Chain A
Amino acid sequence: MLPVEMTVNGERRRGAVDARRTLADYLREECALTGTHLGCEHGVCGACTVLLDGEAVRACLMFAVQADGAAVTTIEGLGGPDGALSPVQDAFREEHGLQCGFCTPGFVVSVTALLQENPKPSETEIREALSGNLCRCTGYQGIIGAVKRAADAR
């Protein structure tokens, strides 16, 4: 077991983990933050996307020990403490950007990162930025709409 300390959604977390424990499993199991989903565990679906020091990364492709000293933001850390939705979360709801919701945390985190870097993305930029996240339900129509709405709301 290796010691690990990181900030998760603004809270300091200290613990000990097996070297092989992925960051995704650490967040889900040790931190009980089950909003980070596992859709493939090999880096393609994007359901596990979290912000690592502000950048969107796959939590299934990192070991928890590697996040030692880092600040991690998960889907649970994006909304307001009282359950208020973030602008991106709200846009997903308004535009029917989700059905089963399994892919949604990964999309919301990715889109949050995208809009931070590029507040007014073009349609092509939106689609390219979304291409690292798979959704099987929506056909992406509502998701693309949600990104546009969230960008307009900024």
Chain B
Amino acid sequence: MSTSTAGRFVGQSVKRREDPRLVTGHGRYVDDVVLPGMLHCTFVRSDVARGRIVRVDTEAAVALDGVTAVLTAADLNPHAGEMQPTLLLATPGAPLRPLADGDVRFVGEPIVLIIASSRYVAEDAADLVEVEIDTDPAVIDVEHALDEGVPIVHPELGTNLGAEMEFPIAPELEALLAGDNVVRRTFRQHRHTPVPMETRGVVVEYEPSVGELHAWMSTQNPHEAKQAMARVTGVPAHLVRVEGHDVGGGFGQKFFTPREELTVTLAARRLGRTLKWIEDRRENLIASNHARADVAECTFALDADGRLLGTYIDHIEDAGAFPVGATGGAGALVGLLFTGPYKCALASLRTRAVWTNTCGRGAYRGPWMFETVAREQMVDAAARQIGMDPLEWRRRNVIPTAELPYTLPTGLPLDMVSPSETLEQAAEIIGYDAFRAEQRRVFTEEGRLLGIGLGLYVEPSTGMMDPMGTETAVVRVNPNGQVTVALGTGAHGQGIETTMAQVVAEELGIEYDDVTIVQGDSAVTAYGRGTGGSGTAVIAGNSCRNACAVVRAKAIEIAAHVMEAAPDDLEIVDARIAVRGTPTRSVAWSEVARIAHLETARLPEGMEVGLEATATFKAPPFSWSNACHACTVEIDRATGVVSILRYVVSEDCGVMINPMIVEGQVAGGVVQGIGGTLYEHFVYDDDGNPLTTTFMDYLLPTATEVPTIEYGHVETPSPTPGGHKGMGEGGAIGSPPAIFNAVADALALVGAIIDRTPLTPDTILDAIETQA
């Protein structure tokens, strides 16, 4: 499939460059890295949520054959530098530390680091470490963590309030909220976690004689890892190199550099040994950053026709104990974006991040997505309350394209989006009206519960915070004309080696096969933002474009010189630089490259030898994409099982570089949303013991739980060059409320109400039973 603006490569579903090595088992993930003298690590972790460490006895572990070192906080913590990520250095956060020191603050917190000849032996040694902890009452329920008399998670901070943002309430809004025409609901989103199929891991080599630290790591962000490792170990940053190679998924969990990776790196530096740590799945589930875990009381004030006049959201996010950085959340955006794609004049908010004795919160595909969850669920609740169809409510309230740009009531400028078009397209593809008729029929005739749900949203990708908004590309033409591009990205499934090659081949007018992307290695690429936050197409893409522009101009100048033509008359077509309109007068791209490097006497007077350029792109503060998700479900009244019947996504990510990859990103995100809404639930008991510590209990959706996803595309080019928009996260943003709304819609047939996820048989049957 190709889009209206498709070029030779941009807009084409080019097959992926990455695939041949990955489908044959020849990828190189961190656990595949084997170095001479490499030792293996494991952690002894707390099995208590909150308590004082009374005794750590490592004697038997140290004595075990094959054990090299058994390290505790006393061995490592005094040597550790700053552990906050670069982006959040100035933001207050949890008092991060390599190993638990004196006390423990969640189940899974690392207490001891074991280094041994194999992971098998390391685990044997871990079994021999005796840790005695005096258990204290733990803070588990985030909704009561701020109550009087509740213990304090981080004594250093003196409060369980990690962050707070509050907007004043304008008197007009206050009056509306106090009026009769309001809808008020509290929604709870349960805790789940990103779960990349490749767990985290790092191999670190420190060479004391030269003071160099070289790490291989499963990371979305090799340059950030390099900075973080330099800060923590004290090794100067220019002597640190981080390589990513193939990374088996991240979804935000590998964007910053978490505690264990930094601890192992510090240990490698201290011991001067080569260490490997590969997280196992249980560690990944209990101690790699969790996500979601939100609750909000939401209020909509409406006029008599159901038009949205004002909103208020009071939001709490569970920050856990040790997020990778700051509070690990995005609560501010939850508040700022709450009105989303709807017209609304007045809004106010309060959002708080709260510490608990649970695994820390971290980025997960659309970290702020609770704004969409809360809003879209509110929309349906409001529509139901006033007796209006939710589609009709959205039609009435959505910001019409003609009224763009539109300033959200919180001050954010929204432009170049198409929420009403995607709403209509999704409704049409799914056959909204026909479904409504069918729903009524099967309910009346057979008592079956069918439901339809929508999730409409606008997705910001932001260049506001350094270094998130900038990427640098180095475009280097080899003497034979083939091109190597270096990017600071950390691809982990997005196909960057493919899409960026498409962009460069398009921009330079050369063959796709003649472009290679090098990325994921801090030593051979310029400082970059990594891969995350839906940023690659726009930010890395345009850094490539900018560098290509310089290279192209120089190539044309060389060609003009050798052909004795005017540069302005030249164009690059199919790897030849030709006089526009006279294709016979041309010089091959490869010839120009050769001249630039190997026949420098033919270069214009004074021109620098070589053909390459380095360029950056700084994204505008906000660029927006948007989509509408629509799905239909059936609920089995007897078993509480939800089946998804159809799933439609109508999206607008501007100009698509590779539609196949865009649809793949959407599908992956949608299925994570299906998992998150129906199956995945990270459960703690009241004492903070995790109950879902294996894949038998933490349930990822499989091929039997997911529907066929249908796509619709709307293309509103963004104002940035190329016209692309960020889209990698969106699938996971729109899907949870679409599914929730569909289930709520079906349950409404029998008057049952839901206000929380996950939508398990328990939730569904309880809702039906409560009603009956």
A residues lining the B interface (CB < 8 Å) = 18, 20-21, 28-29, 32-42, 44-45, 47, 74-76, 78-79, 83, 85, 89-90, 92-94, 96, 98-105, 108, 126-128, 130-144
Please name 8 pairs of A and B residues whose Cβ atoms are closer than 8 Å in the assembled complex, sorted by A. A40-B694, A41-B281, A45-B281, A45-B695, A74-B25, A96-B664, A140-B667, A142-B667
Contact (Cβ within 8 A) B703 A144:
yes
B19 touches which of A29, A93, A102 (Cβ 8 Å): A93
Residues of the A chain whose Cβ atoms lie less than 8 Å from the Cβ of B281: 39-42, 45
Contact (Cβ within 8 A) B702 A131:
yes
A139 touches which of B20, B29, B709 (Cβ 8 Å): B709
Identify which of B193-201, B537-545, B599-607 touches chain A.
B193-201
Tell yes or no: B248 within 8 A of A by CB.
yes
Contact (Cβ within 8 A) A39 B24:
no
B24 touches which of A18, A40, A85, A135 (Cβ 8 Å): A85
CA A102 to CA B20, docked complex, whole Å = 13
Residues of the B chain whose Cβ atoms lie less than 8 Å from the Cβ of A28: 31-32
Contact (Cβ within 8 A) B495 A47:
no
Contact (Cβ within 8 A) A101 B670:
no
CB-based closest 3 A-B pairs: A35-B25, A102-B248, A101-B22
Interface residues of B in 664-689 (CB under 8 A from A): 664, 667-672
B residues lining the A interface (CB < 8 Å) = 15-16, 18-20, 22-29, 31-32, 34, 120, 195-199, 246-249, 251, 280-281, 492-495, 660-661, 663-664, 667-672, 694-696, 700, 702-704, 706, 708-709, 731
Please give me the residue from chain B that is nearest to A74 by CB atom: B25
Residues of the B chain whose Cβ atoms lie less than 8 Å from the Cβ of A96: 16, 660-661, 663-664
Contact (Cβ within 8 A) A99 B668:
yes
Q: Among the interface residues B29, B248, B251, which one has the most CB atoms of the partner chain A within 10 A?
A: B248
Residues of the B chain whose Cβ atoms lie less than 8 Å from the Cβ of A128: 704
Contact (Cβ within 8 A) A100 B246:
yes
Please give me the residue from chain B that is nearest to A22 by CB atom: B120
Tell me the smallest distance from the CB of B18 to a CB of chain A, in Å.
7
| A131-B25 contact in complex given A45-B197, A96-B16, A99-B494, C-beta closer than 8 Å | no
Residues of the A chain whose Cβ atoms lie less than 8 Å from the Cβ of B494: 99
CA A134 to CA B718, docked complex, whole Å = 35
Contact (Cβ within 8 A) A100 B492:
yes
Contact (Cβ within 8 A) B24 A89:
yes
Residues of the A chain whose Cβ atoms lie less than 8 Å from the Cβ of B25: 33-36, 74-76, 105
Contact (Cβ within 8 A) B18 A44:
no
Tell me the smallest distance from the CB of A98 to a CB of chain B, in Å.
6
| A142-B696 contact in complex given A20-B120, A83-B24, C-beta closer than 8 Å | no
CA A64 to CA B196, docked complex, whole Å = 27
Tell me the smallest distance from the CB of A46 to a CB of chain B, in Å.
9
| A130-B702 contact in complex given A37-B198, A136-B249, A138-B667, C-beta closer than 8 Å | yes
CA A109 to CA B602, docked complex, whole Å = 56
A44 touches which of B32, B671, B694, B704 (Cβ 8 Å): B694
Residues of the A chain whose Cβ atoms lie less than 8 Å from the Cβ of B668: 99, 136-139
Contact (Cβ within 8 A) B700 A134:
yes
CA A44 to CA B280, docked complex, whole Å = 13
SS class, residues of chain B in contact with chain A? loop
Contact (Cβ within 8 A) B196 A136:
yes
Residues of the B chain whose Cβ atoms lie less than 8 Å from the Cβ of A141: 663-664, 667, 706, 708-709
A130 touches which of B19, B24, B703 (Cβ 8 Å): B703
Residues of the A chain whose Cβ atoms lie less than 8 Å from the Cβ of B709: 139, 141
Please give me the residue from chain B that is nearest to A29 by CB atom: B34
Tell me the smallest distance from the CB of A133 to a CB of chain B, in Å.
8
CA A19 to CA B104, docked complex, whole Å = 36
Residues of the B chain whose Cβ atoms lie less than 8 Å from the Cβ of A83: 20, 24
CA A32 to CA B28, docked complex, whole Å = 12
CA A128 to CA B703, docked complex, whole Å = 7
Residues of the B chain whose Cβ atoms lie less than 8 Å from the Cβ of A108: 23
Tell me the smallest distance from the CB of A76 to a CB of chain B, in Å.
5
CA A34 to CA B24, docked complex, whole Å = 11
Please give me the residue from chain B that is nearest to A91 by CB atom: B23
B23 touches which of A41, A44, A85, A135 (Cβ 8 Å): A85
| A136-B195 contact in complex given A100-B493, A131-B702, C-beta closer than 8 Å | yes
CA A35 to CA B29, docked complex, whole Å = 9
CA A96 to CA B20, docked complex, whole Å = 12
| A126-B22 contact in complex given A44-B694, A136-B249, A141-B667, C-beta closer than 8 Å | no
Residues of the A chain whose Cβ atoms lie less than 8 Å from the Cβ of B34: 29, 32
Tell me the smallest distance from the CB of B563 to a CB of chain A, in Å.
41
Contact (Cβ within 8 A) A140 B23:
no
Please give me the residue from chain A that is nearest to B284 by CB atom: A40
Residues of the A chain whose Cβ atoms lie less than 8 Å from the Cβ of B695: 40, 42, 44-45, 134
B32 touches which of A21, A34, A41, A134 (Cβ 8 Å): A34
Residues of the B chain whose Cβ atoms lie less than 8 Å from the Cβ of A79: 23-24
Contact (Cβ within 8 A) B26 A100:
no
| A99-B694 contact in complex given A76-B25, A108-B23, A139-B709, C-beta closer than 8 Å | no
CA A30 to CA B22, docked complex, whole Å = 21
CA A135 to CA B15, docked complex, whole Å = 20
CA A134 to CA B199, docked complex, whole Å = 13
Residues of the A chain whose Cβ atoms lie less than 8 Å from the Cβ of B28: 34
CA A33 to CA B661, docked complex, whole Å = 29
Tell me the smallest distance from the CB of B643 to a CB of chain A, in Å.
13
CA A33 to CA B246, docked complex, whole Å = 16
Residues of the A chain whose Cβ atoms lie less than 8 Å from the Cβ of B23: 75, 79, 85, 89-90, 92-93, 98, 101, 104-105, 108
CA A127 to CA B705, docked complex, whole Å = 9
| A99-B197 contact in complex given A34-B31, A35-B24, A44-B695, C-beta closer than 8 Å | no
Tell me the smallest distance from the CB of B486 to a CB of chain A, in Å.
21
Contact (Cβ within 8 A) A100 B247:
yes
A35 touches which of B26, B660, B696 (Cβ 8 Å): B26
Tell me the smallest distance from the CB of B619 to a CB of chain A, in Å.
24
Please give me the residue from chain A that is nearest to B28 by CB atom: A34
Please give me the residue from chain B that is nearest to A32 by CB atom: B34
Tell me the smallest distance from the CB of A114 to a CB of chain B, in Å.
12
Residues of the B chain whose Cβ atoms lie less than 8 Å from the Cβ of A18: 120
Contact (Cβ within 8 A) B248 A76:
no
CA A128 to CA B503, docked complex, whole Å = 39
Residues of the B chain whose Cβ atoms lie less than 8 Å from the Cβ of A136: 195-197, 249, 251, 668, 672, 700
Tell me the smallest distance from the CB of B701 to a CB of chain A, in Å.
8
CA A93 to CA B664, docked complex, whole Å = 12
Contact (Cβ within 8 A) B249 A137:
yes
A93 touches which of B20, B31, B246, B700 (Cβ 8 Å): B20
Residues of the A chain whose Cβ atoms lie less than 8 Å from the Cβ of B661: 96
Contact (Cβ within 8 A) A39 B197:
yes
Residues of the A chain whose Cβ atoms lie less than 8 Å from the Cβ of B731: 139
CA A9 to CA B703, docked complex, whole Å = 29
CA A105 to CA B667, docked complex, whole Å = 20
CA A93 to CA B22, docked complex, whole Å = 9
Residues of the A chain whose Cβ atoms lie less than 8 Å from the Cβ of B702: 130-134, 140
CA A18 to CA B121, docked complex, whole Å = 12
Tell me the smallest distance from the CB of B27 to a CB of chain A, in Å.
5
Tell me the smallest distance from the CB of B466 to a CB of chain A, in Å.
28
Contact (Cβ within 8 A) B24 A100:
no
Residues of the B chain whose Cβ atoms lie less than 8 Å from the Cβ of A47: 197
Please give me the residue from chain B that is nearest to A45 by CB atom: B695
| A42-B696 contact in complex given A101-B248, A135-B197, C-beta closer than 8 Å | yes
CA A32 to CA B704, docked complex, whole Å = 33
CA A20 to CA B249, docked complex, whole Å = 29
Tell me the smallest distance from the CB of B490 to a CB of chain A, in Å.
12
| A102-B198 contact in complex given A18-B120, A134-B702, C-beta closer than 8 Å | yes
CA A142 to CA B660, docked complex, whole Å = 10
Tell me the smallest distance from the CB of B739 to a CB of chain A, in Å.
14
Please give me the residue from chain B that is nearest to A141 by CB atom: B667
Please give me the residue from chain A that is nearest to B119 by CB atom: A25
Residues of the A chain whose Cβ atoms lie less than 8 Å from the Cβ of B196: 100, 102, 136
